Amino acid sequence: MAVTLRPATSDDRDAIVAVFLACWRESYVGVLPAAAIEAMTDDRAQALWRRVLLSTEGTVLVAEHDGLVQGVARFAPGQEGRGGAVHSLYVSPDARGLGLGTRLLDAAFESLSAGGADSVALWVFAANAPSIAFYRGRGWLPDGGMRTQAEFGEPELRLRRGGRGPA
């Protein structure tokens, strides 16, 4: 199995959108209401990832498995370099079990920690038990933060993992 992590380019947008939408349309069934899943149209996903890939804030990595983009992570340092955030982590349902999510999550955490982050946070839908279990198994724990974004209308939990910072 050949797996490569590399920075995303604008040429990866269609492949990233395909992974993203597969997650929304398969992995989020039973987690999000059908209306929220249906609201993530192809056009909306294309616009979102076009904006992300054109932004100079943060980093977007893709995981290629045998030459195909099968996963994506987006992360950025916090203000004043004190913390960091993983904003997105998606792995194609077709590539589950290959370790791509772990590799992307670890790369994001290590990059932010090496940049001086004292901790790294991410948000996950509270009803997404499989993802919460995945994160917990990798040392990410709830820190008490909760939110409900208007665009999704579903509660989210904030998970956090302590960073190492520069030695």
Cβ neighbours around 85 below 10 Å, total: 21
Query: What's the rounded Cα separation, in Å, for the pair 11 and 8?
Result: 8
- The number of distinct structural domains making up the chain is 1
Asked if residue 65 belongs to a domain, the reply is yes
Contact 90, 131 (CB under 8 A): no
Domain ranges, residue 105: 3-162
What token pair was written down for 122? 């991410």
Closest C-alpha among 107, 167, 114, 95 to residue 138: 107
pLDDT at residue 23, rounded to an integer:
93
Query: What's the rounded Cα separation, in Å, for the pair 131 and 77?
Result: 22
Asked if residue 38 belongs to a domain, the reply is yes
pLDDT band for 1, please (50, 70, 90 cuts): low
pLDDT at residue 81, rounded to an integer:
55
Span 125-153, pLDDT tens digits: 999 999 999 999 999 999 999 999 888 88
Q: Is the pLDDT of residue 83 over 90?
A: no
What CATH number corresponds to the domain at position 153?
3.40.630.30
Q: What is the mean pLDDT of the chain?
A: 91
pLDDT band for 163, please (50, 70, 90 cuts): low
Angle between helices 13-22 and 42-54 (to 10 degrees): 130
Closest C-alpha among 2, 11, 21 to residue 94: 21
Q: Is the pLDDT of residue 164 over 60?
A: no
